[in-house]
Amino acid sequence: YILNSSSMVKASALSFNLKPLKEKLNEVRRQFEEQLNQMSHIESRVANRS
């Protein structure tokens, strides 16, 4: 009985973590794209100088 309830808690905790995980992945992807944009801006600035 106890084992069953603990496994149910684990399953609900896992499904509960799925949404924040997806949001976290979107946040990481957004930050990564921002860094890529900044790097390309810096590269174009350096290319313009030379």
| Extents of the domains making up the chain | 23-50
pTM higher than the cut 0.75: no
What span, in angstroms and rounded, lies between the C-alpha atoms of 50 and 32?
27
Higher-confidence residue of 43 and 4: namely: 43
- The tens digit of pLDDT for each residue in 3-30 reads 566 666 666 666 666 677 788 889 999 9
What span, in angstroms and rounded, lies between the C-alpha atoms of 32 and 23?
14
Burial 10-49 (b: 16+ CB within 10 A, else e): eeeeeeeeeeeeeeeeeeeeeeeeeeeeeeeeeeeeeeee
